[in-house]
Amino acid sequence: MLRSGQPLTGPNRKHCREDEMLLGTVLDEGERGFIIDTRSAQAAKQARMTGGGTEPKSSYPQWRRLHRPLERGRPLQESFIKLVEACNDPSTSMDRWLSRLESCRWLSHVKAALSTACLAAQCVDREEASVLVHGAEGTDTTLLVTALAQVILDPSCRTLMGFQGLLEREWIEAGHPFHLRCARSAYSHARLKQEAPLFLLFLDCVWQLSRQFPFSLEFGERLLLTLFDNAYASAYGTFLCNSEKERRVGREESTHSLWAWLNQPGEKKKYLNPLYSPNALVIWPSVEPQSIQLWQGLFFRWIRSSQYLEEAWAETQRLAAGN
C-alpha cells in the first residue's frame, strides 16, 4: 500500500518521467495496481485548474483509478459541530432525533471511511494488487484510509504497541497537521479554516471495528478516548506541531512522550481489552447502516452518566481476568 499527494498534472497535463518510473517499479510486468483517489472524479478534475490533478491513464497504464470521495476540511468540521450540538440539546425529542442525526452526516462519513479503507484492504488482500492512496495533499483522508486499512489487514496493528506504531507512522510522521486540524474542537465559535476532525473520524472508525470485533483489538475504548483528548490538548509532545520538520526543533528535549506514559505497567492495564485474543486473520467490518453506531462513549461522554456501562466493563474485566 502506498500513499502520496496528488500528481501536479495541472491544466497543461504535465508529465513526470520520474514519477511514472517510481510507480512503475512497484509493479511487475503485466501486474495491475489500483489508485484510490479520495476525491470525487469531478473534484479531482477541477484540481487541475489549480495545478493538481489525476494520473493520466496513458502515462500510468498499469494502474486503474478508483474515486471514493471522502469528506474533509470545513464540511467535516461542520458535521462534527452539528453532531455535538445535537447530542447536547436537551430539547431534542425522539421524534426528530434520527433525522437530526442524519443531517449531521457524521455517520455517513464513518461509513464512507470504513468502506474506502476496506476497499484498499481488498485490493491488497483479495486482489493481491498494490494500491496507491491519495487525495489532494496526502495529509488527511489519505492517512485515514491507509491507517484504517492496516488495522483491518494487519493483526500486529491491533496490538497496543502495534497501534501506537501505526499512529506514529501513518499519522504523526506522515505529516498530518495536528496543530491545525485539532485546534479548537466542536464548541468553539472560531471556525478556523484549517480545522477538521480527520483524526477523530479515524478513532471513530476504529471504535466501530472494536464493536464488531470485540476480541480482536488489544486495546479498548478508553485508549481511543485518551488519544482523542491528547490530539486536541496534551501534556505530552507527541501530537505537537504539523510535521516532523517542525517537531524536530526541540521536541524530544523539551517534552515527554505520550507513548512512554501509556506504556507504563500501571497505566497500560487501563487501556487493555480484557477480551483480547490475537486474531491472525483480516477483519472485514460490515458497513451496513445497522452495523454503524453512534459512538456514545465519546459523544455522550459528558452528557450522560456512563456508570452502568462502566460497571459492566468492570465486570467483564473481572470475569476475563478469572480466566
Partner 1 sequence: VENVRLLDRLSSRKAALGTLYLTATHVIFVENVSETRKETWVLHSQISSIEKQATTASGCPLLIRCKNFQVIQLVIPQERDCHDVYISLIRLTRPVKYEELYCFSFNPKLNKEEREQGWKLVDLNEEYNRMGIPNNYWQISDVNRDYGVCDSYPTEVYVPKSATAHIIVGSSKFRSRRRFPALSYYCKGNNAAICRSSQPLSGFSARCLEDEQMLQAIRKANPGSDFIYVVDTRPKLNAMANRAAGKGYENEDNYSNIKFQFIGIENIHVMRNSLQKMLEVCELKSPSMSDFLWGLENSGWLKHIKAIMDAGIFIAKAVAEEGVSVLVHCSDGWDRTAQVCSVASLLLDPYYRTMKGFMVLIEKDWVSFGHKFNHRYGNLDGDPKEISPVIDQFIECVWQLMEQFPCAFEFNERFLIHIQHHVYSCQFGNFLCNSQKERRELKIQERTYSLWSHLWKNRADYLNPLYRSDHSQTQGTLRPQMAPCNFLYKFWSGMYNRFEKGLQPRQSVTDYLMAVKEETQQLEEELEVLGERLANLQKLELNDNKVKSKQQDRSKQLGLSTSNNSLANTPQEYSSDLKSFPSRSPSQGDEEDSALILTQDNLKSSDPDLSANSDQESGVEDLSCRSPSGGGCLPSEDSGKDSDEAVFLAV
What amino acid occupies position 43? A
Q: How far is residue 131's CA from residue 39's CA, in Å, rounded to a whole number?
A: 16
Interface with partner 1, residue 28, by CB under 8 A: no
Task: Single out the residue of 113, 132, 287, 298 in contact with partner 1 (rule: CB under 8 A).
Answer: 287
Interface with partner 1, residue 266, by CB under 8 A: no
Interface with partner 1, residue 102, by CB under 8 A: yes
In the bound complex, what is the minimum distance in angstroms from residue 293's beta carbon to partner 1? 7
CA 132 to chain centre: 16
Interface with partner 1, residue 320, by CB under 8 A: yes
Contacts of 59 (CB under 8 A, 6+ apart): 15, 20
Interface with partner 1, residue 95, by CB under 8 A: yes
How is residue 149 written as a grid cell?
Answer: 486499512
Interface with partner 1, residue 292, by CB under 8 A: yes
Between 16 and 303, whose beta carbon lies closer to partner 1?
303
C-beta of residue 152 within 8 angstroms of C-beta of residue 209: yes
Task: Single out the residue of 236, 259, 261, 300 in contact with partner 1 (rule: CB under 8 A).
Answer: 300
Count residues contacting partner 1 (CB under 8 A)?
65
In the bound complex, what is the minimum distance in angstroms from residue 244's beta carbon to partner 1? 32
Helices (H), the chain: 17-26, 41-46, 73-88, 94-104, 106-125, 141-153, 160-167, 178-181, 198-212, 221-232, 244-248, 251-254, 258-262, 265-271, 296-299, 307-322
Span near partner 1 by CB under 8 A; candidates 51-59, 138-146, 192-200, 282-290 = 282-290
In the bound complex, what is the minimum distance in angstroms from residue 27's beta carbon to partner 1? 15
Interface with partner 1, residue 107, by CB under 8 A: yes
Interface with partner 1, residue 286, by CB under 8 A: yes
Between 91 and 264, whose beta carbon lies closer to partner 1?
91
Task: Single out the residue of 12, 58, 90, 190 in contact with partner 1 (rule: CB under 8 A).
Answer: 90
How is residue 162 written as a grid cell?
Answer: 502495534
Q: How far is residue 38's CA from residue 112's CA, in Å, rounded to a whole number?
A: 10
Closest alpha carbon to 263 in 197, 165, 169: 165
Interface with partner 1, residue 99, by CB under 8 A: yes
Span near partner 1 by CB under 8 A; candidates 51-59, 161-169, 254-262, 280-288 = 280-288
Buried/exposed code over 15-40 (b: 16+ C-beta within 10 A; e: otherwise): eeeebbeebeeeeeeeeebbbbbbbe
Task: Single out the residue of 23, 47, 118, 147 in contact with partner 1 (rule: CB under 8 A).
Answer: 118
Between 64 and 251, whose beta carbon lies closer to partner 1?
64
Using CB under 8 A as the criterion, what x/- string covers residues 173-212 for binding partner 1? --------------------------------------xx
C-beta of residue 73 within 8 angstroms of C-beta of residue 27: no
Between 236 and 300, whose beta carbon lies closer to partner 1?
300
Task: Single out the residue of 12, 25, 58, 93 in contact with partner 1 (rule: CB under 8 A).
Answer: 93
Residues comprising the chain, all counted? 323
Other CB atoms within 10 Å distance of the CB of residue 234: 18
- CA distances from residue 139 to 33, 135, 197, 229 in whole angstroms, order as listed: 22, 8, 12, 20
Q: How far is residue 47's CA from residue 119's CA, in Å, rounded to a whole number?
A: 24
Binding site for partner 1 (CB under 8 A): 66, 68, 87-90, 92-99, 101-102, 105, 107-108, 111, 115-116, 118-119, 121-122, 126-127, 211-216, 275, 277-281, 283-284, 286-294, 296, 300, 303-304, 308-309, 311-312, 315-316, 319-320, 322-323
